[in-house]
Structure 1
Amino acid sequence: MAKPTSKSKKDTKQYTFTRRPIFNIHHSADPLFAAKCHPSEPVFVTGTATGHVQAYRYDIDKLEEIYEDQDKFPYDVSCVKYDDFDDDSIVVQWHTKRHKKSCRDLCFDLPSGGDKIYTLGSEGVIKSADLKTGQVVSKFSCDKDNSYDFQIGTFTKCVSPPGKNFLVVGDEEGNLMCHDTRGKHLQLAYKPFRKLHSGEGINSINYCWPKSEYKFITTGSTTVCEVDLRKPEEPLHTSEDQEDEVLCSTWLDQAKQETMICGMGDGIVTTWKPEMNRWEDQISRIRVAKNETVESLISAMDSDSRFMYGGCSNGHITKIDIKGGKVVERFLQNDPEDDDKVDEVLGLDLDCNYRLVSFGTDGFKIWEEESKNGGFGDEDEDEDEDEASGDSDSDGGFVSGASDSGEEEAENTVEMTLPVKLPAKRSLADSMKRRMEGTTSTSSKKSKTDPILEREEPEGQDESDIGVEVEDSDDDETEDSGRARQGKTVELHEIRDQILARISNPEIDGGDEAKRGKKAGKEKKKGKGAAPHEHGIRKFDDL
């Protein structure tokens, strides 16, 4: 069971709950320990702490009508008044004292289409009953029918795979047993697995059908195991110690079996992908509840295999976006107005119409369908999700589906403000015209968006540097270009004639400058690179 946690009124009031139950059975007089929905009919079966088992058949359309007529107030009944119903919206098919002690778990026989129901009693007895009549058709007793020389502990979980006439049962000692359901005594079909999960109780069992009829995934203590019933010597794979109790698990998509979700003792759900590391370790984690435990999980069965429902020890039921890594909806198992009463969500299931049902020790609920607008938690919930992302990053597993918009925006800004590279044969006049028309606006954008672009450009630049602002100079030519950038009109042919004249006759600039120009020209021809020059226009190698 879950570790004890502290409860407070504040935990209930800091969230916005988005759904209400349309039907509720109160079990405060007889705590509810197990419940399951029939896979193809509007039927559910419950098992209680006193060993009672009940089968109910309901009309969902009539329940919704009552719910709407009562201003969306749930239809409440008590579990001790089995025949005290106002109409035929819900009918008790049968009820009985099935076990001497508590009913620990139950499941439908899937190979027969759900015609039989299996129940586990904590006194060490497994019983199979006809769903329509409730009459026992077969049973197994640990004291009488155990053909293997080992002590069977108190039963915890059971599952019936669709492909084989098996009933797989786990106990509190870490033992895993497979019973043949075709006989009257439910004899063991294979040698049991002994002391899985370091001898701790088995918290969940999942079959691997349709991929395999003999493989199962179990969780218990702080590990996850993969077993093959035909090889009972040891499990096929055992995960690393998760340093936190693994309380529940389920496939995100039973058909594909690519992703398994596990509920942990510290309020997170972990994602497992067996094809990546063969159950060695989790690959991501999502925070669901602070200082609480995740007691139950069920896939939402959506077409994208994206969402999961999780039940917590504080009574919260959450809809989790596994791919997005966040909680998108939250509603409450117990009455939101009753702050002092918390009903742990011990189990979740989907009925034959994929409607969510849940149960805790105090009651069983059928929930209204999800609204089209959906519901999201308030800012406090968003803070929890942010913390989840932080936890995930620290473990190196979870990567949020949302991209870092800030980084993308910065990259786009740099790309837009970088100068466009010009063709190699662009004329000098065109280059000057482009420089005078676009330098001012381009440079101002760079200074605002990316300070890195304001740094001095290194030597040996190519023609793509035309349009990038350079350092000021005392030369008259630079002053002319500066005046041009300030909005004064300069005739291009005059600038062209002056520059060509200086290139062809270096003596115009004086003897020293002529010598420096000739020396620089010779070095260019030899391929040694050009020396720095004061004039911005003469900074380019091919001028």
Structure 2
Amino acid sequence: MFQNICAIPLDHDLFTQAIHAEEPIVSVGLSSGHVQTYRLPAGSSDDSDGDETLASENGFGHIETAWRTRRHKGSCRALAYSHDGAQLYSAGTDGIVKAAHLTTGQVAAKIAVPLDPGSGSIDAPSIVHALSPQTLLLGTDSSALHLYDLRALGPKAALKPQQTHHPHDDYISSLTPLPPTSESTSGFSKQWVSTGGTTLAVTDLRRGVMVRSEDQEEELLSSVMVTGLSKKGTSVGEKVIVGGGNGVLTLWERGIWDDQDERITVDKTPGGGESLDSLALFPAGVGPGGKVVAVGLGNGIVRFVKIGVNKVIGQLSHDELEKEGVIGLGFDADGRMISGGGKTVKVWGEKGPGDGSDEEEEAEFASSANGAKREHGSDSDDDSDEEMGDSSEDEKPAQKRKKRKRNKGKQQPGHGILGFSGLV
């Protein structure tokens, strides 16, 4: 289904990644507090004689490091592009959210996350999301969900939340906007689904937390919205797919939020399946057709699940050696899949004629790591924000993010532009 085009080595563990909606750009947030933005070679155009491979595969392209900086003390927990894609928001364990220009990385504004009212200490962010040009959503470890009005954001503005909700009893692990209804006049989402601990909740921009599910008795880690499904009976053809900590996807019908209505077992490991840490919906025109969700597992595997028939239809391995969890997963503007985990981000292109069957791919990844690819070394630089001091602590993302571990990390040499020629 996909073939690995290239691997981007990182100096520290990946904690989060963001993929630009309109340009071939991916940003990563690392356990060291660094934020790095890469520009990928443009995909081929529709009139390129059917060659849909990256230019770098033919020896002409390269991955450019647009900018790299030490953005946060501790780790960078969350990243999100602004609604227009012109800025990148990063949130770190220093309790600061920073808005930076996409092209230069220069900080344009900052937001201080409110302290944890229970302890009076920093309430580390767990997720950030630009809901619209006006609204920024920020979830934290204490289960707070802050809503900010971006119209008041500026270089010297001490921005405070307009609203704060607590939809869960645990940290917010995922957030998925619900598509606007036909009655919407703005065209922007005003409701969203969040997961935290063992519950799912729906929050409205004006009315606050509207509903909270029953206790699912399993940790809910990731979510994605799927529309355009078959409408049968009371089904509206829209479901939220949720990844759990025990290897099972649960399907939730829009408008019926008390409990899940279907389950798909993605991993049947004896004693409990691997955690489903990340989800991404195939864009139109990519893959075998129909509604397919890519699922990133805690053991470094990516599996593909077709919704409707509700079964696994293929898999590949992001990390064949270390088996680090796939905590970042998505598709870029050219339909290439980007997976992230451990100290590597990988770019995957669809297989073309003569590139081998999906059955061969599954057999290859099932045969352990004997054929693992060697990656290019990195030679990163040491530039950092002036206001940031040095810190020797790296935060290592756990398979289940609920318990984040602290690990000592050595500073590694940085890298500037990565050139990839003749990749296979």
Q: What is the TM-score when the length of structure 2 is the normalising length? A: 0.72
Counterpart of 1:259 in structure 2 is 239
State the shift of 1:250 in Å: 0.8
Counterpart of 1:348 in structure 2 is 329
Sequence identity of aligned pairs in percent? 28
For 1:197 and 1:254, how far apart are their aligned partners in 2? Answer: 29
Q: Supply the AA of the counterpart residue of 1:258.
A: E
Which is greater in Rg? 1
SS in structure 2 at match of 1:236: strand
For 2:148 and 2:177, how far apart are their aligned partners in 1? Answer: 14
Matched, 1:334 2:308: no
For 1:151 and 1:213, how far apart are their aligned partners in 2? Answer: 32
Q: Supply the AA of the counterpart residue of 1:226.
A: V
Uncovered stretches (5+) of structure 2, i.e. residues with no partner: 45-52, 182-187, 230-235, 367-424
Counterpart of 1:92 in structure 2 is 65
State the shift of 1:189 in Å: 4.7
SS in structure 2 at match of 1:134: coil
State the shift of 1:253 in Å: 2.9
State the shift of 1:151 in Å: 6.8
Q: Supply the AA of the counterpart residue of 2:8.
A: I
Matched, 1:237 2:211: yes
Matches within 5 A, 1:249-328: 249-253=223-227, 258-275=238-255, 278-290=256-268, 291-302=273-284, 306-328=291-313
State the shift of 1:343 in Å: 2.0
CA contact (8 A) 1:272 1:282 kept: yes
Alignment CA distance shift 1:177-1:370 (3 Å): farther
For 1:370 and 1:174, how far apart are their aligned partners in 2? Answer: 42
Counterpart of 1:102 in structure 2 is 75
Matched, 1:168 2:150: no
For 1:257 and 1:237, how far apart are their aligned partners in 2? Answer: 20
Matches within 5 A, 1:172-251: 172-182=141-151, 183-184=153-154, 185=157, 187-194=159-166, 196-198=167-169, 200-211=170-181, 213-232=189-208, 235-251=209-225
Alignment CA distance shift 1:259-1:371 (3 Å): farther
Show CA shifts across 1:215-234 (max 9, x none).
111001111000113234xx
State the shift of 1:361 in Å: 2.1
Deviating beyond 6 angstroms after TM superposition, the runs of 4 or more aligned structure 1 residues are 149-152, 254-257
Alignment CA distance shift 1:186-1:359 (3 Å): farther
Higher relative contact order (CA 8 A, sep 6+): 2
State the shift of 1:166 in Å: 1.2
Counterpart of 1:117 in structure 2 is 88
CA contact (8 A) 1:172 1:202 kept: yes
Structure number having the greater strand percentage: 2
State the shift of 1:191 in Å: 2.0
For 1:370 and 1:190, how far apart are their aligned partners in 2? Answer: 47
Alignment CA distance shift 1:140-1:324 (3 Å): same
For 2:200 and 2:102, how far apart are their aligned partners in 1? Answer: 33
Alignment CA distance shift 1:251-1:26 (3 Å): same
State the shift of 1:95 in Å: 1.1
Q: Supply the AA of the counterpart residue of 2:3.
A: R
Show CA shifts across 1:196-236 (max 9, x none).
322x110001122433632111001111000113234xx21
Q: Supply the AA of the counterpart residue of 2:95.
A: G
Counterpart of 2:373 in structure 1 is none
Aligned residue pair count: 330
Alignment CA distance shift 1:359-1:257 (3 Å): farther
For 1:143 and 1:153, how far apart are their aligned partners in 2? Answer: 7
Question: In structure 2, which of residues 347, 364, 388 is the aligned counterpart of residue 366 of structure 1?
Answer: 347
For 1:328 and 1:168, how far apart are their aligned partners in 2? Answer: 34
Q: Supply the AA of the counterpart residue of 1:309.
A: A
For 2:191 and 2:175, how far apart are their aligned partners in 1? Answer: 11
CA contact (8 A) 2:78 2:126 kept: yes
Alignment CA distance shift 1:119-1:136 (3 Å): same
CA contact (8 A) 1:161 1:209 kept: no
Matched, 1:157 2:127: yes
State the shift of 1:186 in Å: 6.7
Counterpart of 1:83 in structure 2 is none
Counterpart of 1:375 in structure 2 is 358
For 2:351 and 2:131, how far apart are their aligned partners in 1? Answer: 29
State the shift of 1:88 in Å: 5.4
CA contact (8 A) 2:137 2:145 kept: yes
Alignment CA distance shift 1:152-1:251 (3 Å): farther
For 1:319 and 1:150, how far apart are their aligned partners in 2? Answer: 43
SS in structure 2 at match of 1:67: helix
State the shift of 1:347 in Å: 1.2
Matched, 1:357 2:338: yes
State the shift of 1:167 in Å: 1.1
For 1:209 and 1:188, how far apart are their aligned partners in 2? Answer: 27
Show CA shifts across 1:390-422 (max 9, x none).
xxxxxxxxxxxxxxxxxxxxxxxxxxxxxxxxx
SS in structure 1 at match of 2:165: coil
SS in structure 2 at match of 1:127: strand
Counterpart of 1:138 in structure 2 is 109
Q: Supply the AA of the counterpart residue of 2:57.
A: Y
For 2:98 and 2:173, how far apart are their aligned partners in 1? Answer: 20
For 1:32 and 1:346, how far apart are their aligned partners in 2? Answer: 8
